[in-house]
Amino acid sequence: MSHLRRIISRGQIRRRVKELAAQIRADYSGQRPVFVCVLKGAFVFLADLVRQVGLPLEIDFMVASSYGMEKTSKGQITILKDVTAHIAGRPVILVDDIIDSGLTLQRLREYLVGRQPASLRVCALLARERVLAEGTHIEYLGFSLPEGFVVGYGLDCAEQHRELPDIYVIENE
């Protein structure tokens, strides 16, 4: 049996998203950034974030190969859906749900840099303390967290729990 333990409330998320949006608004004033959302997990975060940024902006989506029913990375990342926007010469902000091993982020960064954006920054809702300690740089980060599989606010476990408004860790009993 496993159960869900709430670790980040909707109130905490709302406040942090506002802070991140304010930073982005200040940093991109006078620009029209393209927000590239990594599906599916980041869709709730993206929707809340862009409504707080208060700048003219564009939205696009990418799909990278997921873990499917498994909980650990296979190491190989494939791009299943590419951006449709013309991002060359544009400021791009990559929006992801959680940076776990950092592999997806590394792969997507390399790929997008190849498309020659004017700039590329990453905005992630969550990142593991481990990957941050290893030196992975995330320009806009919501929360750092220890090990433990998390769900809710867009994040899933085998396609379950994305709709939950708060963030939970799955605990095995």
Active site residues: 100
Shortest Å distance, C-beta 11 to ligand IMP: 21
Which secondary-structure segment (H or E) carries 151?
strand 150-151
Query: Is 77 or 92 the residue whose CB approaches ligand IMP more closely?
Result: 77
Q: How far apart are CA 22 and CA 99, in angstroms?
A: 22
Residue 41 makes contact with Mg ion by CB under 5 A:
yes
Instruction: Tell me: does residue 102 bind Mg ion (CB under 5 A).
Output: no
Residue 121 CB coordination number (10 Å): 18
Nearest-approach distance from CB 103 to ligand IMP, in angstroms: 4
Q: How far is the C-alpha of 2 from the C-alpha of 82, rounded, in Å?
A: 36
End-to-end Cα spacing for the chain: 6
- Per DSSP, the three-state class of 162 is coil
Nearest approach, Cβ of residue 108 and ligand IMP (Å): 9
Asked if 73 and 106 count as a contact pair (C-beta separation under 8 A), the reply is no
Q: Which of residues 79-138 bind ligand IMP (CB under 6 A)?
A: 96-105
Interacting positions 143-162 with ligand IMP (CB under 6 A): 149-151, 155
In the complex, which residues of this chain contact ligand IMP (CB under 6 A)? 41, 67, 73, 96-105, 149-151, 155
